Structure 1
């Protein structure tokens, strides 16, 4: 057989098999959704970073580490895809592996040891995914689990009435700072819908976003609840800034300066870098990040900038291994390794573009 034809035949077979895998999962769903093709990034996740128990490894290292961040992002993706079978598997992973005795999530599991510290951002993301699942599939375990975690956040993860970065169960101490990129209005509203927060409590949290000072349009990194002081980093970490901008938009805070800066830089350079110097707004690093591009896409969609979102998507996909015959097909690789975050966020962005019919 001619070699190019042979390669094409194998590639077509892989695509057919991927579609078959989706059908097999969906047919057992309580309320089956029409089968959706498995995205190449999803194939990479399930074949290279997921264990037989459904745990997501952070990298390809021999000694795996598992993060509540990965769990929450994967649950977010599965809700957007409406894949109940896979979502239920992750609910089991959540309850059996990540939940600590006091109902917060261990932020990291390493060498089979659970950290006794949680991360607010991850717990809120899981609560939001569970609440979305409850709306979709009305299964009691979703809301009961969400309420357990949310109540623990209220009881353990607050200082002077404010949500903070973490709670350390080993020392019974709560952080006194809040990172602005953790304050998702959508997630905090879920605490109200679960009857754990009042509207006033929610408004108190969002006031930190709404009252934040800006430097050249960019947000501070964190807020110290004791000192009542905002702190800026000398470098703009675009992951933090984009999450904060996305959440600020949800809180009806004007972020148009950031969007204009992103569009101008992308159109000029054809790319965006991971970090920029706050003083000069010049790149502080030479690398691109698929996670940055994914967040730009989600942020652009929020602002109705569909064309910009599509342009950034095409650049993001150039960083992905798209040849089905390559060993790490579908992955966003950094030479011979990767990070779950840099694969999960692009997957979420791609699914959202499909859901919004910006791409097909």
Structure 2
């Protein structure tokens, strides 16, 4: 029987269970931290996307696919949450499932088959997470693994002195293109702190960002290292563009034109779309993306725009299932399916808003 009292009872039970999950994580951790709430998105990931082995499914598809992207984002989140117990579980997943013989990560595992290719952006993200974890919890194994990955990136994943998109061990081929959104200065500087890169090598990578031409304030999609040429897409992929803007800002590149456009467009439309035509700056799709909003939030926080970050957060949360009685509570759903990226990135943004005291 579905009565108001019955519904209230169910809600209270879920709240108690969530609180219990939080308490259990804190109790088991060897390094007690201040209480951190289990966010709805975290609940969704651990209850709907994560397997018993700690692997994060990409979607609800019957054929499970696991990505190094999901692993890296989840590790990033756990460091921001200061949850060492869960981080160590993922450290085990990294070592047992994703690391290949040459110490790069398999970018995809499908039907228990590991791809022999990596994705630079994911490997860098994992290195950065391991380094942050080592500073927090002083576990030498984190840095040892980070250094092995970093060394492999230098040995296998560079073309003419520049980090490139991937290395494929099955063909022994290194890409000669670098997608600009992959060039995260914070992560690349970790290669320097590990003494794998020199300062000059770090500078050479960031020069690709710093010398990039603009069209209407926006960045190119990629740089062909062999041809020494930048390439623009006809459409602005907001995920790529926002990652690039965030990274460029960290590299002290002026990105104010993009921030101005974001604020003006959001104020006018009340939303942002997933793609825009570069020629007209009009939307080329009709969908909104929680990941786009998450990146806008992180970018706004980096640019010291907390009020704008909060406004975008409010819109992002409207896309999330927030009713605890729904089966997919906490998820960002696309009808009956979802994607790990569209849940992990918003979760990171939400945690960062808590960490910065923009929301409570």
Shorter-chain TM-score tier: over 0.9
2:4: which partner in 1?
A: 4
Name the SS for the 2:28 alignment partner: coil
CA distance in 1, matches of 2:157, 2:225: 13
Counterparts of 2:226 and 2:319 in 1: how far apart (Å)?
A: 43
TM-score using structure 1 length: 0.99
Shift of 1:6: 2.2
Q: Tell me the secondary structure at the aligned position of residue 27 of structure 1.
A: helix
Structure 2 matches for 1:74-153, cutoff 5 A?
A: 74-153=74-153
Runs ≥4 in structure 1, deviation > 6 angstroms? none
Alignment of 1:1-360 (within 5 A): 3-360=3-360
C-alpha distance after superposition, 1:25-56 (max 9, x if no partner)? 22121211123110000000000000000000
Deviation at 1:101, TM superposition (A): 0.4
Residue by residue over 1:64-87, the C-alpha shift from the partner in whole angstroms, topping out at 9 and shown as x without a partner, is 100000000000000000000000
Task: Label 1:152 to 1:2 Cα distance change in 2 as closer, same or farther (>3 A).
Answer: closer
Distance 1:85 1:252 in 2: 35
Alpha-carbon shift at residue 3 of structure 1 (Å): 1.9
Question: For 1:324-354, what per-residue CA distance to the aligned partner results, in whole angstroms no more than 9, with x for missing partners?
Answer: 0000000000000000000000000000000
Shift of 1:2: 8.0
Alpha-carbon distance in 2 for matches of 1:34, 1:253 = 36
Provide the C-alpha distance between the structure 2 equivalents of 1:104 and 1:166, rounded to a whole number of angstroms. 10
For these two proteins, the number of residue pairs brought into alignment is 360
- Tell me which moved more, 233-242 or 25-34: 25-34
Report the Cα offset of residue 210 of structure 1: 0.1
Question: 6-15 or 262-271, which moves further after superposition?
Answer: 6-15
The offset of 1:250, in angstroms, is 0.2
Taking the aligned partners of 1:315 and 1:323, their CA distance within structure 2 comes to 16
Q: Deviations over 1:269-300 (max 9, x none)?
A: 00000000000000000000000000000000
**Is the alpha carbon distance of 1:125 and 1:278 closer, same or farther for their aligned partners in structure 2, counting shifts above 3 Å?**
same
Shift of 1:19: 1.1
Aligned-pair distance for 1:10? 1.2
Secondary structure at the counterpart of residue 334 of structure 2: coil
**Unmatched tracts of structure 1, length 5 or more:** none
* Offset, 1:133: 0.1
Shift of 1:137: 0.1
CA distance in 1, matches of 2:225, 2:73: 28
Cα shift at 1:218: 0.1
Q: TM-score normalised to the size of structure 2? A: 0.99
Distance 1:128 1:139 in 2: 14
Deviations 1:116-142 (A, max 9, x none): 000000000000000000000001110
